[in-house]
Structure formats: C-alpha cells, structure tokens
Structure 1
Amino acid sequence: MANRLSEGGKYSVCVLEAGPAGTSSPLINIPGAFAAHMFIKKYNWAFNAKPDGKLRHGAPLFTPRGKTLGGSSSVNAMLYVRGQKQDYDTWEALGNDGWSYSDLLPYFKKSEHHEKLGGSEFHGHSGPWHISASEPEYPMSEAFIKAGQQTGFRYNDDFNGADQEGVGYYHCNIKDGRRFGAAAAFLKPALGRDNLTVLTEAQVKRVLLDGDRATAVDVRHANSEFRLEAEREIILSGGAINSPQILQLSGIGDRKHLQSLGIECLHELPGVGRNLQEHVDACVLVTSRINDGFTASLTGLLKMLPDTLKYLFNKTGKLAKSITEAGAFIKSSDDVDRPDIQLHMVPLLFDDCGRDIKLMSKPGYSCHVCVLRPKSTGSVMIQSADPFAAPEIDYNFFADEEDRKVLVNGIRQVRKILAAAAFDEYRGEEIHPGAECESDEEIFRKAQERIGLVFHPVGTCKMGVDKEAVVDPQLRVHGLRGLRVVDASIMPKLISGNTNAPTIAIAEKAADMILQEHTAGAAAEAAVQMAD
C-alpha cells in the first residue's frame, strides 16, 4: 500500500508500525531461521487465544503474528499460495462486485516476479515480489512426493496454476537465499521517496472521528504520544487480530460490547471482530529410522554445520530454504468436488509451533492436516479500553461438525501416504495419533490433544453488503468516510491455502481503487471550479 500510493509522488503517505523495523535482522532474513520467532518475541505479537478445555488439554492456543515492517510476511514460512478460483468467485457471489478470480488474477501477476514460471498465463515476471521454485534440500520431502504419487495423487508442479489439486513442492518468496517479504519487496525500494514517512515502534491507540469522518489517529511512539491527522484517509492494515481491536478501541463495533467496557459507541457495526476464521491444524507424527531430516539436538545441530557454512559464504543450503518444502492439496474424501485439505510435510517432529524441543530432538517427520474451508467461526473482542491489552481471541473450532469430519478424513489420507513404499526405509512408530487409534472418535480425540493453527486468521472486518459486513467492496468502513481496512481481515470467507499472497493482491487492488477514487474526486473538483 505504501509503495503504490506514494509512487506517483502526488500523495504523502505515513506508515505506522507497532514493532521495530527488523529489516537487518538475521532472524527475519535467513529463511531457515523463521522458527526462532516462536521463542523470541521481539518481532512477534505472540498472542494467546482463549483456552478451550477440549483442545490441548485446556492450554491456550499460541497465536503468532508479525510485529515488524512487513507484518507476518516477515516471520512466516514464506510459502506462496493463492488458493482456488472458486474462493474468489464466492466472494463476488456474496455481493462483492469486482472480487472474482478473474478480477484478482491481474493483481497476483502485477506483484509477482516468478523466477521459473513468470510471463505465463498465471504468473507475472516484472513485479517487485520475487517468487522462487528451487530444488528440495531434504530427502524426506522427495519421499513424500513419491509416496503421494504411489497413493494415487497426481504430481502438481504449480499449486497456483490452472488446478491446485495434487502433491508437489511449494514455491516461496525467497530471493538469493534471503526472505523476500512485503517489506523487502515493496517498502524498501520506496524508502527514499520524499512523500513517504515510516515510523516504527509506533502503536496506534485509536482512530478519531469527527461525526461520520475519520480524521486522525492517536499514537504511542517510543516514550511519547501524539495525534497524527490525515488529509485524505486512514487505512488500517493491522491484520485479523489488530484491525478489529483498533476499531473497537475507537468506538466502532457492537454497541452492547463497547458499552460494557465503558467505551462510547460512536458508530455501531456489530460485525467488527466477528466471523473469525482460521485454518485448524492436526499433525501425524512418525519417528524415523534414518536421521536425514532435522533434529533440535546437539547431533542435529552439528549436522547442520556444513549448511551453516554454505549459507554464510554463498547463501545456499538448507538455511536458504523454508523447511516446509513439500505438501499437497487433496480431497478428504470422494464426496467433495475440490481439495478441502492442505498438507504440509515437515522433515522433523514438529508440533506446538515448534516449541516442543523435546519432541523435535528425536529423528522423525510430521505431516500436518489443514481444514481449508472451515465452517466454524469465532471472534476477536477487546476486553478493556486499554489499547495495549491483548484482545480475546476465540477460534471456536469445531463448532460445526463438518470441520471435525474433514479433519479426521484428512488424517486418514495422510496415513495412506505415509504408509506408501517411499517411506519404507524411514518409517518407525506413529507416535501421534498412534496406530492404536482407528475409529473416527479415537482419531479426533487424539487430534484435539495437539491441535494447532496454520497462522491464517481472516474475516474479522469482513467485506460485504449484509448486516455483519464491516467494509464495502471498496474496503471503506460502512457508514464512515475516510476510513478503510486493507488486510486479511476483510476476507468474507477463508481462502483454500496460505493467506500471504492473497493479502498482497488485496492491497494491490485496494491501492488502485484508492488512487482512482481520489483522482476522480480531484477531477470533479476541478470541473466545479472551472464552472464557477
């Protein structure tokens, strides 16, 4: 947004980022180091969701979110996935004109410079965002691809092409062995512009309204506080957790909820913070007889020494890649017409966002099952008027029975893949859910013990025309002037895959809409002046 709105030189833009810059941090720039953000909170909001007594033995679900320039694109696993055509056509069918797949494809391509497929029907070659499609580093990743084919799933060399279905390798936003997120691709090239100001460690406390118009924001920057006025408009891009939080703190949301916290409701929008959707995640964990994956042990770290040297000297090797190399988009059963689960193959025993060091110290591998289009929805609601207090995040997983069915069927599909001949030399013991779990009830009960997230929250400021919609198809907050939301929170329905690429496409389209609107407004004003 900052890049596109400032590139013409006509408009001044100020970016307010709550976290530190992080642009030179090796934790951000080294692809293989991204898991460190689950332990080191400097660049991570590190929220904890509301505990659910049925999940993870009542422990809160850890909810990492990027708190630095580039947001979560600076701390994620760097997978470039767009979702399915039907996802966006559904958005349009819900009353969001201009948001179909055919409308968004040009914006996906506009951002992209795909090193392998650029210049094709589905991929761009001249955009600022570099997408790589390199060879795998881990033999277990290759075993997964072979096993998937042996099980009957076709190989797919491009999950973002004509058809998403199949097993294959993920493409990533990595360039020259370094993470290439939104900050590197879009913000860094624009930093020299006179009309762009970037303030880090500047947390927005609330948006100020003058009647039905948003005019300013209150900000804490370092140890000072100030008010920043906007000449044209304010754009919230805090994501599905922080954007509804800021709106509610500003008196925009459900009247009863705000009044219960002593906050005056200045503009009633009951949908703010509702409609939270997230990709729930369950894992199948298997020990390995061959240790050619990764282990968080002294032996494992010593084995990484050659790759560490490779990275230090020429930015190659395992540290130059995302450890999540292989995956799949498949149907959980023959009853569905398109893939409804996503698989992430990881060459280590990975659970609890990688925070279970004891588990990861053993040789093994894991395959994670993601329910792509969950029917259950939750909420993000502030619990006080304190802008620095975390909101309550309630995922409300499995409120709809269908999500449970898809998850269990997905675990069964993973078991078939991991039982294929390609894994014969690796296969040890299935330690989760465990070979003894056979019935749907047994599998689901064990899955609940290690349930997790894929870090794709959306929907809490949803776009639409119904009574719970927060923004219109131009991403303007309903009933207000000068205020938009541009981030994953506007998605009315969660897309079938990782959400980083779609969020950037949303920003590309929003920037075009904003510039066109202000250009048209200026032309109309000039015409009136000439008539006068």
Structure 2
Amino acid sequence: MLKDDAGDGELLRQLERRMANGEIGRRGFLRLAGALGVQAALAVTLADRVAAASINPPARGIAAGYDYIVVGAGSAGSVVASRLAEDPARRVLLVEAGSGNIERPTLSSPFSWPANLGSDVDWCYKTVPQAHAQNRVFNYPRGKVVGGSSSINAMIWVWGHASDFDNWEKAGCTGWGFDQVKTVFQKIETCGRKAPAGTRGTQGPMHVGPMAVSSPMNEAFLEACKRQGLGVVPDINAPLQEGTGLMDLSVRDGKRFSVVHGYLLPGLKRDNLTLVTDARVDKLLFEGTRCVGVRLVINGQVRDVRAEQETIVSAGAIDSPRLLMLSGIGPAADLRSVGIAPLVDLPGVGQNLQDHVALPSFVAETWEKGVPGSRLDTHAFFRTDSSSPVIDAQALFIPGVLPPSTLKRDEGYTLWAGLVRPRSRGRVKLLSGEPGGPLHIDPAYLSDPTDLRALMQAAQWCRDIGNSAALASVRKRVHFQPPATRGELAEFVSRSIDSYWHPTSTCAMGVGELAVVSPSLQVRGVSQLRVADASIMPSITSANTNAPSIMIGEKAAQNLIGA
C-alpha cells in the first residue's frame, strides 16, 4: 500500500518495487505513474527499466510442461519465443543460460561495447592454437546474457548480399532465396534512414539507422574511396552492395536496441511466455527419436521439462552443436570417444565452422583530436580480385586509434580490413561428455590459402586509402601501415588477424550428407526438434551476422506457426 505522506519520489519508487514484485503490471504502473504527474515518455522508460531489471523470474515459476521450449534467449531465440507467444493458446518456455540483468552502461551505450568482451556477460570461449596464424589462441566472445551477442556486439546492421541467400537456395534450401528473405528483413526493422519506398522496413520491432552524430572525418574517407574507384552508396546495408557509405546500427535514442528491446520485453508482457535465466540445459530429452523436452540445471537442481509440440535450439554456433552432441546427435565416432552413446549419427554437427577475420591495416595521427563520442559508423565493401563476381572484403573506417599504435584513442584514425567470404572451414567438437565441459573450437583460420591472398589485397587497399590525398587534410603523420613486400605482408597478415566474432554454420541447413537441418530447420533423423540461429547458415553471409540471425528467428517462427 502506498503511503499518503510519502513524497512523489518515494511514491514512484514504491510503484517500481510493486511492479518488480509482480503486484502490478505494466499497464497499472503507467496508469498510476500518470496519476502522480509523471510524463508519459518517462513513465515508459521507467517501466522498461523495471522490466529489464526483473527479467529473471524465480525457478518455482516453471511448469512441468509447455507447448514449446526455446533454448537460448539470443538474437534468434528471443524472436522465436516472442512470435510463438503471440497466440495466447501456446505455452512457451524460453531458457537462457546467461544473466537476465541488462541494466549496466556497457550494455546500453553504443560507444562502450568493447568493455563487454571478456566480462561476466561473455562466455569467454577460446580457440585452439591456429596453425596458420602463428599458433595464436584467439578469444571467441559470445553473449552470456539475455539478447545473446546482440546485447554485447558492435550493433552493425547489415542484411547481407543478395547472392548469399540466392546461393543458399541454389544449394537446395528452398524458400531462403533473397526474394523470400527480403520481405522478412523488411518485417523485422523500422529503418531510420530515408530510403526509396519498398526497400526498407518501416514498422518492424527492430529500430535501426545511422548514428545521429557522425565523425567529420567520414567525408574524407568517402572521398578517398571514390578516388579509388569505389562509389558512395546512399544505403549500402540492405541489401549489402559494393561501395562505401554510412552504417546502419541497431541503436535508438542514442542507446543500444537489441532483441531484448525489440522482441523479448514486449513478449514478456504476455502471461503465456515464461523466461528463466541462469539455467543450463544439460541435454535434450528423447523418447525414441522424438524430442520431448529438456533437462535443466537451475541453482544446482536438475529439472526435466516437457515440450508437447517442439523444442527449438537457439544457443548459437558454439552451443547449439554442443547441445546436440551432448544429447547423442552428431558424429558417432566422436561421441563414443567421450562416452556418449549416439542416438543419431549426424556427421555434420559441429563441422563447417565459418567466421570472418579482420586486421588493423592503417593508423594515422590527425591534426585535431576526434569528435568526443564518435564511433565506427562508416564502412566499405569491395572485391580484392577484379575478376571476382562478388565482393569479398570489408573495410572499417574508425575515427579513433586502435592497437598496434600507441597513440591515444582520440588522436587519429584506423582502417581495418576484413574478409567477408572466407573459404576456410573449421569445427567444434566435445572434449568431454560432461555438460559444461571443455570444447575444441577450431575456426582453422587461413587454412585455405585463398583467404591469405584476399586479406593481403584488402590490407593493401586500406593502406592506399589511408595514405590517399583525400585524407591529407586530416592526416598529420602515419603511425602504422602494412609492409610493402609480399613475403613480409603474408607474415604480417598471419601475425595480425583477429576474429570478427561471427561464428556460423556448425549446424548447417541443406540437403546433402553433412546437412544438419532441413530447409524448415528440422534436425535430421529426429522429430519435434529444430535449430534456429546463425549455426544453420549453409555459408556465412558477406557482412556482420546479427541482422541475418534475427531473420533466421523470424523464418523459424513462420515455419512453426505456418505463417
């Protein structure tokens, strides 16, 4: 009960506590806050904050069974669960192994995202030593929080190249060509940039667009690209095109806008969607080859929960294959080697790991310090070989200084070169039959020599852009650039590459022997089980993978509900 003699501030705090405790709902909070004279926009912000802070319901709220269980509240899983719950007759359980607390500055600021890497909201995976990258071990960050990697990433929003999806369809993935996925991308987004009618989404749950304030150095970079023969494209992001231009970012009102904001929080207003966080799924449960639910571990207690209709695994390109293998689905010999009895011999599980790689390719000191608060928001896509039919490289123009330079952050600019169509293929496999045990993560970077040659060309391209006359007005002196000789350049690339943090394709969709899921995302050899996340990509998309992962979640939901 509210106290009559309390001040307005204390009354509002009591309202927040009552909403957090479940005594009043969102609608009741907004109505009572309005009665206190709180402006509507502020009341909505406070309600969202309370909902986000209390996103983790107690374990006792979990029922013995649901119609659908979704494993993983990341970029795809949050979409699947929220869409399924739109029908009040469906009971949906969404299970997240990470935290439910998104109330921290590094998870909301568009500028502070690097601080998330290596923190408690990162699974902090590591690769095995990379034989073609001087045996270095790479950090492999993955989001350990609701929203998954969409809550910790750099927020770059790119659909992918039209040929990415057309190639999926040509390989047998019916319904995944660009003409089909284009309408899904449009359904997802509310785009904040001006675009020709019918090209971008205008009423979707994800708010995306260029940054409101951009670095004044961007114009010089765009001019440098033009002089290099690369056109400036008004909207380079959707679909991805050859050229250069401003990025779209999943940002709204100066803050990160992840699937938590676009899908999960609105979905949790429905009584038929239950979210449990800090809950590990140890294995999938089967009756014969029919998946009937999951085994959860919450606060050290084991609970089996049934799924009457289907279970959807959306744990990402590392943990989705891990869960399948722990449940007996995967390469039979590998499973037996760690003491797991195979249920289905599915050799493609964990295979076909693909990832983008990038490396710093130019750093220059500027005459003036950078604009406070400016961030990476301009990129270019180009072909490293003029005979190639499609783009294969991405350049990131960063209005700030990154290693290996020792300049201060705001004293210069950096160019990164990225490979977006890698040919190298790696794998994920179990090293133990124990849930939560160690993993063998091997992206096999540069194992295909074509990737090394392409990255050498991309680094040279960035060096030429960085030294161009168009940037002379801002460039005081060059602090770092790749070597010029071919042998030194090859060594530099192998020494300098780093992950782009876009692992995909370890539960690849297709029709061949190594396909793990069908074009409807059903796991081969079993029933009532699907995978929906970046792991199902037959081949990696030609740019940042978050928007395609959300699209995959939407497509999975359409398959499940017959839309």
SS state at 2:176 partner: coil
Q: Which residue of 1 aligns with 2:221?
A: 144
Matched letter for residue 462 of structure 2:
V
1:61 partnered with 2:138: yes
The answer to whether the Cα contact below 8 Å between 1:22 and 1:28 also exists between their aligned partners in 2 is no
Q: Which residue of 1 aligns with 2:127?
A: 49
Distance 1:362 1:187, change over 3 A: closer
Q: Which residue of 1 aligns with 2:104?
A: 25
1:327 partnered with 2:379: yes
Q: Which residue of 1 aligns with 2:158?
A: 81
Distance 1:345 1:456 in 2: 19
Q: Which residue of 2 aligns with 1:35?
A: 114
Matched letter for residue 278 of structure 2:
E
The answer to whether the Cα contact below 8 Å between 1:464 and 1:472 also exists between their aligned partners in 2 is yes
Q: Which residue of 1 aligns with 2:211?
A: 134
SS state at 2:416 partner: strand
1:464 corresponds to which of 488, 501, 510: 510
Q: Which residue of 1 aligns with 2:475?
A: 427
SS state at 1:158 partner: coil
Using structure 2 for the length normalisation, give the TM-score.
0.82
Q: What is the CA-CA distance between 1:133 and the residue it aligns to?
A: 2.1
Q: What is the CA-CA distance between 1:428 and the residue it aligns to?
A: 5.4
Q: Which residue of 2 aligns with 1:299?
A: none
Q: Which residue of 1 aligns with 2:168?
A: 91
Q: C-alpha offsets along residues 477-498 of structure 1, whole Å, 9 cap, x if unaligned? A: 0011011000000000111111
Q: C-alpha offsets along residues 251-288 of structure 1, whole Å, 9 cap, x if unaligned? A: 11001111111111111100000000000112213230
Q: What does 1:395-410 align with in structure 2 at a 5 Å threshold?
A: 395-410=443-458
SS state at 1:107 partner: helix
Percentage identity across aligned positions?
A: 35
Distance 1:392 1:429, change over 3 A: farther
Q: Which residue of 1 aligns with 2:523?
A: 477
The answer to whether the Cα contact below 8 Å between 1:136 and 1:325 also exists between their aligned partners in 2 is no
The answer to whether the Cα contact below 8 Å between 1:324 and 1:345 also exists between their aligned partners in 2 is yes
SS state at 1:219 partner: strand
2:420 corresponds to which of 339, 355, 372: 372
The answer to whether the Cα contact below 8 Å between 1:286 and 1:427 also exists between their aligned partners in 2 is no
Q: Which residue of 2 aligns with 1:309?
A: none
Q: What is the CA-CA distance between 1:421 and the residue it aligns to?
A: 1.6
Using structure 1 for the length normalisation, give the TM-score.
0.87
Distance 1:42 1:75 in 2: 11
SS state at 1:141 partner: helix
The answer to whether the Cα contact below 8 Å between 2:285 and 2:295 also exists between their aligned partners in 1 is yes
Distance 2:240 2:151 in 1: 28
1:246 corresponds to which of 300, 315, 323: 323
1:487 partnered with 2:533: yes
Q: C-alpha offsets along residues 181-200 of structure 1, whole Å, 9 cap, x if unaligned? A: 11110111111211000001
Q: Which residue of 2 aligns with 1:384?
A: 432
Distance 2:193 2:392 in 1: 27
The answer to whether the Cα contact below 8 Å between 1:284 and 1:430 also exists between their aligned partners in 2 is no
C-alpha RMSD of matched pairs (Å): 1.9
Distance 1:134 1:479 in 2: 46
Give the stretch that moved more between structures: 178-187 or 278-287.
278-287
Q: Which residue of 2 aligns with 1:277?
A: 354
Distance 2:476 2:328 in 1: 56
Q: What is the CA-CA distance between 1:21 and the residue it aligns to?
A: 1.2
Structure 1 stretches lacking a partner, 5+ long = 295-303, 305-317, 518-532
Matched letter for residue 154 of structure 2:
A
Q: What is the CA-CA distance between 1:333 and the residue it aligns to?
A: 2.6
Distance 2:298 2:343 in 1: 25
Q: C-alpha offsets along residues 11-41 of structure 1, whole Å, 9 cap, x if unaligned? A: 11111111111332221111111110124x2
Distance 1:359 1:255 in 2: 52
SS state at 2:201 partner: coil
SS state at 1:58 partner: coil
Q: What is the CA-CA distance between 1:442 and the residue it aligns to?
A: 1.4
Matched letter for residue 110 of structure 2:
P
Q: Which residue of 2 aligns with 1:417?
A: 465
SS state at 2:334 partner: helix
Q: What is the CA-CA distance between 1:141 and the residue it aligns to?
A: 2.8
Give the stretch that moved more between structures: 504-513 or 224-233.
224-233
The runs of at least 4 consecutive aligned structure 1 residues that moved more than 4 Å come to 356-362, 428-433
Distance 1:340 1:357, change over 3 A: closer
Q: C-alpha offsets along residues 323-361 of structure 1, whole Å, 9 cap, x if unaligned? A: 22111011113121221101111122325xxxx896765
1:195 partnered with 2:272: yes
Q: What is the CA-CA distance between 1:137 and the residue it aligns to?
A: 2.8
Distance 1:181 1:439 in 2: 43
Distance 1:46 1:140, change over 3 A: farther
Distance 1:208 1:119 in 2: 49
Distance 1:339 1:363, change over 3 A: same
The answer to whether the Cα contact below 8 Å between 2:324 and 2:330 also exists between their aligned partners in 1 is yes
Count residues with an aligned counterpart: 484
Distance 1:184 1:135 in 2: 20
Distance 1:380 1:430, change over 3 A: farther
Distance 1:462 1:215 in 2: 23
Q: What is the CA-CA distance between 1:290 and the residue it aligns to?
A: 2.7
The answer to whether the Cα contact below 8 Å between 2:173 and 2:510 also exists between their aligned partners in 1 is yes
Q: C-alpha offsets along residues 113-137 of structure 1, whole Å, 9 cap, x if unaligned? A: 1122468222111111111223443
Q: Which residue of 1 aligns with 2:90?
A: 11
Distance 1:357 1:511 in 2: 46
The answer to whether the Cα contact below 8 Å between 1:432 and 1:446 also exists between their aligned partners in 2 is no
SS state at 1:379 partner: strand
Distance 1:433 1:442, change over 3 A: farther
Give the stretch that moved more between structures: 144-153 or 503-512.
144-153
Give the stretch that moved more between structures: 215-224 or 422-431.
422-431
Distance 2:114 2:502 in 1: 16
2:233 corresponds to which of 145, 156, 166: 156
1:501 partnered with 2:553: no
Q: Which residue of 1 aligns with 2:26?
A: none
Give the stretch that moved more between structures: 448-457 or 85-94.
448-457
